[in-house]
Structure 1
Amino acid sequence: MTDIVDDLKWRGLFAQSTDEDALRKVLADGPVTFYCGFDPTAASLHVGHLVQVLTVRRLQQAGHRPLALVGGATGQIGDPRPTAERTLNDPETIALWVSRLRSQIEPYLTFEGPNAATMVNNLDWTAGLSAIEFLRDIGKHFRVNKMLTKDSVARRLESDQGISYTEFSYQLLQGMDFLELYRRYGCVLQQGGSDQWGNLTAGIDLIHRLEPGAHVHALATPLMVKADGTKFGKSESGAVWLDPELTTPYAFYQFWLNVDDRDINRYARILSFKSREELAELERLTEERPQARAAQRALAEELTTLVHGAGECAAVIAASKALFGQGELADLDAATLTAALSELPRVRVTELETVVDLLASTGLVASKSAARRTVKEGGAYVNNAKVAAEDAVPDAADLLHGRWLVLRRGKKNLAAVEVTADAG
């Protein structure tokens, strides 16, 4: 067993626990069976969930036994949001999302050996439970005055929308999850984000009422926010998903590559599995040469490999280099090239125009006269080839995968041209 509490604290992954000294002891005496829950309120996990998934992985690597719960029951209700009621999805959709989330979580855990992980679904112990049984056996042990103190509930009560009984009852369901996992698997620790603290302690209170003498614990990780105060895990286009169909591996890599220097050292400690010495070296490089973005590149490569595989990561890095003239654009496969170009300013045309016209229409220059000046000064490139003549028109043979041109002004300013039958 490693001293996992000290490691979590060093990494910035320890916000609070019910009793730190008792938690340290039980983890040191381990192995401990613990759980973390994930609700299928979307078709994929996003990078905010990755913090919890990788914390589960760390605890397992420290010798403890994880239960990864994907909530087929709680996912049908959803934890109350601070602002408005959730849109409820039908059971068939939830079942599909449960399957997808399970397949996303499983690669990070080990399902063999003495501390093998187990996937669980709270629909298994709620599907056959009647409303009367739930109210009598579970609801009786919750106090409304305490439930009202939960932050998300309190904020909703103060809003014009209020809160439905459905969402208000969510903490009863999560509390029952901990009770059931304690009884079925001997689970004595629940891990989650600090915004879940009310739900985590609700389960502890329920176990104490129904299982006298039980010793159970809660561990909360801090919520991650960016240095500018915005929500972690968001890009300009929205949430950064783990599903490559929702966020391409290229966009995923670029998210980490573009992390603010003020955030990168904190994110690397939380998410990287590099040693303390390796992370200290990256922190030194960031301080001395922030323009090199060594820590961002290291984290982008590590997480893209972890989430999407080494092959996809290599393709993404090759695409990044090729866009800036450090590799062959023609060598990139169609999917990787399309993903990379979707991140750039782009114009659609039905037929090829002069490079001057294309530079102006993509916005790489302010006007056609500025485009002509750029060509004259040797700063215009099509597919990394310098454009020599102001009246140059790309040939159909120049189209990458019969569809794309990559324009560049100078060293760093890029845009894409897509030739289609319909410019709309």
Structure 2
Amino acid sequence: MTEYSSDLLRLLASRGYIHQVTDAEGLDALAAKQIVPGYIGFDPTAPSLHVGSLVQIMLLRRLQQAGHKPIVLMGGGTGKIGDPSFKDEARKMLTLDTIGSNIASIKTVFENFLTFGDGPSDAVMVDNADWLDKLEYIPFLRDIGRHFSINRMLSFDSVKLRLDREQSLSFLEFNYMILQGYDFLELSRRAGCRLQMGGSDQWGNIVNGIELSRRVDGTEVYGVTTPLITTADGGKMGKTMSGAVWLNPDQLPHYDYWQFWRNTDDRDVGRFLRLFTDLPLDEIARLEALEGAEINEAKKILANEATAMCRGRAAAEEAAETARKTFEEGAAGGALPTLAFKRKQIAEILVELGFVSSKKEAFRKMSERAVRLNGEPIANLVRDISFEDGPSEFTIHLTQTATISLGKKHHGLLTPQG
């Protein structure tokens, strides 16, 4: 591991955040002698960010922990276009109302990870619509566009991927990287920002901003990217069978968020503890060395710490207690995902609870006798569950709340609708 003199790069390196640095020596020297404002941009494409964005949020947290200033850049302007990086097709265009409502919703999660305020190292949140919406086309082309080489932009992997697949890349999307580079220039001028961070897929965009700042203002700025975070089985971080693992509680219940971390692959426990918790490194080394059934205790700690950071300690404790009751006592805890109805098809229940992604998959699980009601496998012929009429050959009649399970990891509550 490279030896750094600054607390910032030592912290990032020791916990596994560094993939590339544009000028490690220059950034290390700067961070060792002054507070460095650094930013990451987040486009408001949904009402919530998901776990796939969490490493970037944690990167801002580490920046602040090392005594520097995090800048959260909301893409109210760039969100009107959408980042084409490594996407198979163009993003759907969002209305201004949707973008505004998504930003308001996303903002709430950052308060759990960062300390905002007016102090030298307090975090701030800005919106690039504040300057991008005011740009005039001809002056922008003359003053900024002339510094970008089309030849070079076409060489970026994020662009080549789309072109090599003969998939359309619109002029609108092609402008995204110019606007992102301009964001860095504006933040350098407005907030003294000297660092942009992001995932490895943002390397080309970050380099564009660095070169633009140097050419236009003669300012030295820096970039850091994180490695692509995948699970041990090669899956994309934050994606599960039932969809994205959302950070906002109104998009995903506390218990489901906790359970996502509890289900971590044994091989990922140490890495995820370093990236997504504040536990000391020596304690993480002890936990990741556990073997056999003992590694489950490390997973519970990971789930507790990651959930407490994002949702609050009370939410983590409630989810952990629900898990204990469900798995250790065989009882139904109060924080399980709940579905209220009068009569419903079992396949629909499994889809709506997020246990499976389609009714076809639900029917397959049912044929495998993997679906249980109050701990008992549901017979093959049964198709419906009802709270309003008597039992039949194809329907289970319930009179009170029941637990439905799929395998060992998915549990929910079924209740009569009011």
TM-score tier by shorter-chain length is 0.7 to 0.9
Match of 2:300 in 1: 297
Q: Could you tell me how far 1:143 is from its partner in structure 2? A: 0.6
Query: Is 1:101 equivalent to 2:98 in the alignment?
Result: no
Q: Could you tell me how far 1:4 is from its partner in structure 2? A: 2.0
Name the SS of the counterpart of 2:72 in structure 1. strand
Match of 1:90 in 2: 95
Match of 2:129 in 1: 123
CA 313–68 in structure 1, closer or farther in 2 if over 3 Å, else same: same
Query: Is 1:66 equivalent to 2:63 in the alignment?
Result: no
Distance 1:414 1:97 in 2: 29
Q: Which amino acid aligns with 2:208?
A: A
Instruction: Check the 8 A contact 1:344/1:416 in 2, yes or no.
Output: no
Match of 1:180 in 2: 186
Q: Could you tell me how far 1:313 is from its partner in structure 2? A: 1.5
Query: Is 1:338 equivalent to 2:338 in the alignment?
Result: yes
Query: Is 1:406 equivalent to 2:411 in the alignment?
Result: no
Q: Could you tell me how far 1:19 is from its partner in structure 2? A: 1.1
Match of 1:314 in 2: 317
Q: Could you tell me how far 1:150 is from its partner in structure 2? A: 1.4
Deviation readout 1:210-237 (Å, 9 max, x if unpaired):
012x211101111101122121111111
Match of 1:418 in 2: 414
Q: Which amino acid aligns with 1:316?
A: A
Question: In the alignment, which of 168, 172, 194 is matched to residue 166 of structure 1?
Answer: 172
Deviation readout 1:50-89 (Å, 9 max, x if unpaired):
1111110111111111111011001111110431111111
Distance 1:66 1:414 in 2: 37
Match of 2:147 in 1: 141
Q: Could you tell me how far 1:277 is from its partner in structure 2? A: 1.3
Q: Which amino acid aligns with 1:205?
A: E
Instruction: Check the 8 A contact 2:266/2:295 in 1, yes or no.
Output: no
Instruction: Check the 8 A contact 2:371/2:404 in 1, yes or no.
Output: no
CA 284–165 in structure 1, closer or farther in 2 if over 3 Å, else same: same
Deviation readout 1:262-281 (Å, 9 max, x if unpaired):
11211111111111111111
Question: In the alignment, which of 198, 223, 230 is matched to residue 218 of structure 1?
Answer: 223
Distance 1:415 1:336 in 2: 7
Q: Could you tell me how far 1:168 is from its partner in structure 2? A: 0.7
Match of 1:79 in 2: 83
Distance 1:359 1:25 in 2: 58
Name the SS of the counterpart of 1:82 in structure 2. coil
Distance 2:410 2:243 in 1: 22
Distance 1:360 1:20 in 2: 53
Q: Which amino acid aligns with 1:193?
A: G
Q: Could you tell me how far 1:108 is from its partner in structure 2? A: 1.6
Match of 1:110 in 2: 115
Question: In the alignment, which of 236, 248, 266 is matched to residue 241 of structure 2?
Answer: 236
The alignment-based identity, stated in percent, is: 41
Question: What TM-score results when the alignment is normalised by the length of structure 2?
Answer: 0.82
CA 10–416 in structure 1, closer or farther in 2 if over 3 Å, else same: closer
Q: Which amino acid aligns with 2:42?
A: F
CA 361–216 in structure 1, closer or farther in 2 if over 3 Å, else same: closer
Structure with larger Rg: 1
Distance 2:72 2:269 in 1: 28
Name the SS of the counterpart of 2:329 in structure 1. coil
Gaps of at least 5 residues in structure 2 are 340-349, 357-368, 381-395
Tell me the number of residue pairs that the alignment of Structure 1 and Structure 2 aligns.
374
Distance 1:71 1:344 in 2: 33
Aligned 1:381-392 pairs, distance under 5 A: none
Deviation readout 1:369-399 (Å, 9 max, x if unpaired):
xxxxxxxxxxxxxxxxxxxxxxxx9984xx2
Question: In the alignment, which of 28, 32, 37 is matched to residue 24 of structure 1?
Answer: 28
Query: Is 1:3 equivalent to 2:7 in the alignment?
Result: yes
Gaps of at least 5 residues in structure 1 are 346-357, 369-392
Match of 1:271 in 2: 276
Distance 1:256 1:162 in 2: 37
Q: Could you tell me how far 1:344 is from its partner in structure 2? A: 6.2
What value does the CA root-mean-square deviation take over the aligned residues? 3.0
Q: Which amino acid aligns with 2:135?
A: L
CA 12–119 in structure 1, closer or farther in 2 if over 3 Å, else same: same
